[in-house]
């Protein structure tokens, strides 16, 4: 290991190390602590300019209840779920199929297709913005959750296919040869060999996709207008305009936007890290 592990016997050194690390961690997360603390401030304290002193009263519950009752945040939250969950499911399906074919049934140009999937993933959103918006208008999807579902499904399929292709390509070749030798059709191989084996990859991919799509802001503002359709990210930006200096409410709303991906991350941390670093390390 590098750096060298601090030996178990060096108790003093271990303690000093932990103190140092936690001090840096506190600095690192200071902006988050600031927002969490502010989200517990009462409106009267905020109005009086008492932002960091001892609170005269606590506003924690008022603020969070307020976000849900006095702003459309509940609606935004539901919209985000209605967009994110179907999009994740569609991407998983499309990318498993495409990744399976790209890894096990190479055809002329399959490397080009693969390269386009990877490259497309790194394009600036602006280069496709106008035609995509136009397309959604013409399909009658503009300002509906379907506009975002369709776009995210298309866009994330690039990254997800790369991910699934690499995972399936790394599965033991013999499994596929054995299945073919036994006369299994591609569909049977998909159902009986690929699907049972890719479950961990699907878990890792699902949580990554959830985070990417949930956190999207650009497409939310490009493809939606109404509060009834907007996801939380665009909603939060709107609230910022309306509640200019009500930092306690904005902080609470920010925390609400941040909670689902953070919770997902802590619940499925291993999968998340594995997904994010896949390919980066082996290469």
Partner 1 sequence: MSNVWRRHRGWITPAIFILPAIVLFGVVIVASSLQSVWISLHEWDGFGPMQWIGLGNYEELFADPQFYTSLKNNVIWLVIFMLAPPLGLGIALLVNQQIKGMRIVKSLFFVPLVLASVAVGVVFTWVYTPQFGLLALLFSAFGASAPALLSDENLVTFAVVFAALWPQIAFCMVLYLAGLNSLSEDLIGAGRVDGARGWNMLRHVVLPQLTQVSFIAIAITAIGALRSFDMISVMTQGGPFGSSSVLAYQMYEQSIFSYRFGYGAAIATILFLIMLVFIVWYLNRIMRAEDRSA
Nearest-approach distance from CB 67 to partner 1, in angstroms: 13
Q: What distance in Å separates the CA atoms of residue 144 and residue 223, rounded to the nearest whole number?
A: 8
Nearest-approach distance from CB 134 to partner 1, in angstroms: 8
Binders of partner 1 among residues 75 to 94 (CB under 8 A) are 94
Q: What distance in Å separates the CA atoms of residue 246 and residue 71, rounded to the nearest whole number?
A: 13
Binders of partner 1 among residues 162 to 181 (CB under 8 A) are none
In the set 23, 32, 61, 65, which binds partner 1 (CB under 8 A)? 32
8 A C-beta contact, residue 114 and residue 98:
no
Q: Is 17 in the site for partner 1 (CB under 8 A)?
A: yes
In the set 64, 257, 268, 271, which binds partner 1 (CB under 8 A)? 257
* Burial status of residue 48 (CB atoms within 10 A of its CB: 0-12, 13-18, 19 or more): exposed
The angle formed by the CA atoms of residues 196, 202 and 204, to the nearest 5 degrees, is: 135
Binders of partner 1 among residues 194 to 213 (CB under 8 A) are 211
Binders of partner 1 among residues 110 to 129 (CB under 8 A) are 111, 113-120, 122-129
8 A C-beta contact, residue 226 and residue 241:
no
First to last CA, the chain: 20
- Give 118's contacts (C-beta < 8 A, 6+ positions apart): 158, 159, 162
Q: Is 63 in the site for partner 1 (CB under 8 A)?
A: no
Nearest-approach distance from CB 25 to partner 1, in angstroms: 6
Q: Is 10 in the site for partner 1 (CB under 8 A)?
A: no
Given the complex with partner 1, which of 22 and 178 has the nearer CB atom?
22
Given the complex with partner 1, which of 32 and 61 has the nearer CB atom?
32
């Amino acid at each position: 290991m590098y750096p060298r592990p601090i030996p178990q016997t060096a108790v003093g050194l271990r303690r000093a190390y932990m103190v140092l690390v936690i001090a840096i961690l506190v600095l690192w997360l200071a902006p988050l602590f600031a927002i969490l603390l502010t989200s517990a401030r009462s409106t009267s304290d905020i109005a009086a300019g008492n932002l960091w002193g001892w609170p005269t009263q606590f506003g924690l519950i008022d603020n969070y209840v307020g976000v849900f009752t006095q702003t459309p945040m509940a609606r935004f939250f539901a919209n985000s779920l209605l967009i994110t969950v179907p999009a994740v499911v569609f991407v998983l399906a499309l990318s498993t199929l495409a990744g399976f074919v790209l890894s096990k049934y190479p055809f002329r140009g399959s490397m080009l297709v693969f390269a386009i999937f990877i490259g497309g993933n790194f394009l600036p959103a602006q280069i496709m913005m106008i035609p995509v918006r136009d397309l959604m208008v013409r399909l009658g999807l503009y300002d509906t959750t379907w506009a975002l579902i369709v776009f995210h499904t298309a866009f994330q399929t690039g990254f997800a296919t790369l991910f699934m292709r690499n995972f399936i390509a790394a599965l033991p070749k013999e499994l596929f040869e054995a299945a073919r030798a036994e006369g299994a059709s591609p569909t049977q191989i998909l159902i009986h060999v690929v699907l049972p084996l890719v479950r961990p990859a699907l878990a890792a991919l699902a949580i990554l996709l959830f985070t990417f799509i949930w956190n999207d802001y650009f497409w939310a503002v490009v493809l939606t207008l109404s509060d009834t359709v907007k996801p939380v990210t665009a909603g939060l930006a709107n609230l910022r305009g309306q509640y200019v200096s009500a930092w306690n409410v904005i902080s609470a709303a920010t925390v609400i936007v941040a909670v689902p991906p953070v919770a997902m991350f802590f619940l499925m941390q291993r999968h998340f890290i594995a997904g994010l670093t896949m390919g980066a390390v082996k290469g």
